[in-house]
Amino acid sequence: QVQLVQSGAEVKKPGSSVKVSCKASGGTFSNHAISWVRQAPGQGLEWMGGIIPTFGTANYAQKFQGRVTIIADESTSTAYMELSSLRSEDMAVYYCARGRFPGEWLSSHDYWGQGTLVTVSS
Amino acid sequence: DIQLTQSPSFLSASVGDRVTITCRASQGISNYLAWYQQKPGKAPKLLIYGASTLQSGVPSRFSGSGSGTEITLKISSLQPEDFATYYCQQLNSYPPTFGQGTKVEIK
């Protein structure tokens, strides 16, 4: 059974960066896209970007271009999302999610991490 | 970006009711649409992909239909565990956007 386990909650100051990890177990890691989706309190879902580990390159939503970096370490089956220049509007739960179909960049998300709450406060 | 508009945004229904949620896209997305269910404090759960294919383990009371710019999710007989928020997501083009959500509450 595939499991995605994310790192714990973070409290960050405005202007700083946060790095969230997502460790996969079960199934194959390298050829399924891992996306990052965030959800601000009481709000909907927002796709930030994704990576297919075996390809190495990431795609990002234009809204986050230049502020977000997504990488994957195949040796540890772990994906990471780093968001910089944090502002109050970035306070949200950040989820990683696996693409259902191997090798497909645009794929529905069949497994999700438990979410990581990032609080941005001075 | 492709905009997805779900209707209704809020729905009050009783156990046993038949429920329909519509997702309208700002441009054609063929059948590249997924539906998710989210309960408070939990990650979303994939219900349907390809507009009409039920994800493994999802009860058959859930069904999806449509293509192009209008796609629907139907719950044939609402169960207590179905009270949640439902989101559609288009996977036709980048970025893969979500609808704003439909909250299904108990009447």
Per residue in A18-62, pLDDT tens?
999 999 999 888 999 999 999 999 999 999 999 999 998 999 999
**Length of chain B counted residue by residue:** 107
The pLDDT tens digits for B56-77 are 999 999 999 999 999 999 999 9
Q: Give the separation between CA A118 and CA B61, rounded to whole angstroms.
A: 36
Q: Pick the closest to residue A49 from A32, A31, A35, A62 (CA basis).
A: A35
Regions in chain B scoring below 70 on pLDDT: none
pLDDT at site B91: 97
pLDDT at site A40: 98
The pLDDT tens digits for A50-104 are 999 999 899 999 999 999 999 999 999 999 999 999 999 999 999 999 999 999 9
Q: Give the separation between CA A47 and CA A59, rounded to whole angstroms.
A: 11
Instruction: Check: CB of residue A107 under 8 Å from CB of residue B91.
Output: yes
In this complex, do A45 and B93 lie within 8 Å of one another by their Cβ atoms? no
- A contact residues 59-98, partner B, Cβ 8 Å cutoff: 59, 61-62, 95, 97
B71-83: b or e for each residue (b if 16 or more CB lie within 10 Å)? bbbebeebeeebb
pLDDT at site B29: 97
Closest-CA residue of A relative to B102 is A44
In this complex, do B98 and A45 lie within 8 Å of one another by their Cβ atoms? yes
In this complex, do A46 and B46 lie within 8 Å of one another by their Cβ atoms? no
Closest-CA residue of B relative to A42 is B40
In this complex, do B43 and A45 lie within 8 Å of one another by their Cβ atoms? no
In this complex, do B99 and A44 lie within 8 Å of one another by their Cβ atoms? yes
pLDDT at site A28: 87
